[in-house]
Chain A
Amino acid sequence: MEKQPTDSEGEGEEGGQPQEANKEDHMTLLLRLRAQTKQQLLEYKSMVDANEEKTPEQIMQEEQIKAKIEGLENEVEEAKTAFEMKNLALDRMQLSAALKNNLEKIDTKTSLLMDDMKHVLELNKLIMTSQQESWDLEEKLLDIRKKRLPELKQASESKLLEIQTEKNKQKDDLDNMENSDKIKAIRQNLQREIQITTVIQNVFQNLLLGSKANWAENPALKKTVLQLEKNLTMI
């Protein structure tokens, strides 16, 4: 990286003004300087403008950065959870190892842990036996139910049959009643009576009409006449 910024000494020759500079020369120099300064000012202005504007690329970059940040945060979370899980697994392993070591060290017969374990085993056995019992009971219950099911079926079938026969019986009774001789006789009687009554009505009506009485004036008579109009077969 060694470098020598050898500042050149060109000033004396190029940049330096000639000694015989008169007023006109000064004038041109000033004018040129003015133009130069203007041009430089323009350059700086355009630079500032360009820097102020946000190009779509930059906006895109910002969005990309945001998305990236989210992705990275997710990764961090995942790493954290993975670390926790591994930690837990490690804890378990350490615990089991410690337990193993401990068991090897301690006398098996007097150890409290063994007693606990034995107790646990007994309890487990108890649980198993009671579970077996409950299973047996359930099985018995099922058997009984199975047995009772066909019986129930038979009973319901017979009941249904009974109901059916009862219904049929009622129907038959009704039919029989309609077709019986008694009913027929009664009907014939009724028919004959109706006919007789009709005839009597007609006769009576004609009698009234023939007598040429003004039946409409007497309310009682009027009522009777109107009654005679009824058709008895429609009753």
Chain B
Amino acid sequence: MSVLRPLDKLPKLNTATILLVSTEDALLQQLADSMLREDCASQLNVHLAKSLPLPSNVTRPRIDLIVFVVNLHSKYSLQNVEESLRHVDASFFLGKVCFLATGAGQESRCSIHHNTVVTLAHTYRSPLLFCDLKMEDFRVTMAQRLVRMLQICAGHTPGISALSLLSLLQSPESPSLEDL
């Protein structure tokens, strides 16, 4: 299974699976914990991966949402995300992928420009979220948000599909990005 495809397996009853991809292990673990602590009617599965492709010898449930976490302080994390994106099927980008940029708060330590991530997310037509994962409050909020998104992607919210999440692309500040 070199390329990750959405909807290639049958869903488990009342279960939603999210895949967090990043080189930042510690941050991912914290984020996963925050997500699991969220109050949610569905059963949550959080998978962590350093990079794609995932090894094929492991059986795993259907993955409903992939979150690529980019640490703006490390160029390697961006490079890793770019490499991993090649192993994702195109139909995943119909709302089931989102980018999460962390570390934008400490601008002095940023080695990646803000615009680079914006362009990356726009190239893949996927929403981009900014959050400083080191801050407890921000992380909890982000976890909440991700859980909501995951529920939509897993089809646990009747009437709304993952495609609706593409509305996150529309940003009032930079409408020109949509026109690009």
Q: Are A5 and B53 in contact (CB under 8 A)?
A: no
Given A13-B36, A14-B39, A14-B40, CB of A36 within 8 Å of CB of B45: no
The residue in chain B whose Cβ has the minimal distance to the Cβ of A50 is B91
Verify if A43 is at the interface (C-beta below 8 Å from B): yes
Verify if B38 is at the interface (C-beta below 8 Å from A): yes
Query: A8: which B residues are within 8 A, CB to CB?
Result: 32, 36, 44-47
Q: In the assembly, what is the distance between CA of A40 and CA of B13, in Å?
A: 10
Q: Are B51 and A1 in contact (CB under 8 A)?
A: yes
Verify if B172 is at the interface (C-beta below 8 Å from A): no
Verify if B14 is at the interface (C-beta below 8 Å from A): yes
Verify if A3 is at the interface (C-beta below 8 Å from B): yes
Given A6-B47, A8-B47, CB of A39 within 8 Å of CB of B13: no
Within 8 A of A (CB), among B123-180: 154-159, 161-162
Q: Are B14 and A40 in contact (CB under 8 A)?
A: no
The residue in chain B whose Cβ has the minimal distance to the Cβ of A3 is B49
Task: Give the secondary structure class of B's interface.
Answer: loop
Q: Which single member of B14, B45, B155, B162 contacts A7 (CB below 8 Å)?
A: B45
Given A2-B50, A15-B43, CB of A44 within 8 Å of CB of B37: no
Q: In the assembly, what is the distance between CA of A11 and CA of B46, in Å?
A: 10
Query: B50: which A residues are within 8 A, CB to CB?
Result: 1-4
How many residues on chain A are close to B (CB under 8 Å)? Answer: 29
Within 8 A of B (CB), among A34-56: 35-40, 42-44, 46-47
Verify if B15 is at the interface (C-beta below 8 Å from A): yes
Query: A44: which B residues are within 8 A, CB to CB?
Result: 7
Q: In the assembly, what is the distance between CA of A9 and CA of B7, in Å?
A: 23
Query: A14: which B residues are within 8 A, CB to CB?
Result: 36, 38-44
Query: B11: which A residues are within 8 A, CB to CB?
Result: 40
From B54-62, B65-73, B112-120, the one touching the partner chain is B54-62
Q: Write the residues of chain A forming the contact surface with B, with a CB cutoff of 8 angstroms.
A: 1-11, 13-16, 29, 32-33, 35-40, 42-44, 46-47
Q: Write the residues of chain B forming the contact surface with A, with a CB cutoff of 8 angstroms.
A: 7, 11, 13-15, 32, 35-51, 53-55, 58, 60, 91, 154-159, 161-162
Can you offer 30 A-B residue contacts whose CB atoms are under 8 A? A3-B48, A4-B48, A4-B50, A5-B47, A5-B49, A5-B54, A6-B32, A6-B48, A7-B60, A8-B32, A8-B36, A10-B44, A10-B45, A10-B46, A11-B43, A13-B36, A14-B39, A15-B15, A15-B40, A15-B43, A16-B43, A32-B41, A36-B155, A39-B155, A39-B156, A39-B157, A39-B158, A40-B11, A40-B154, A43-B155
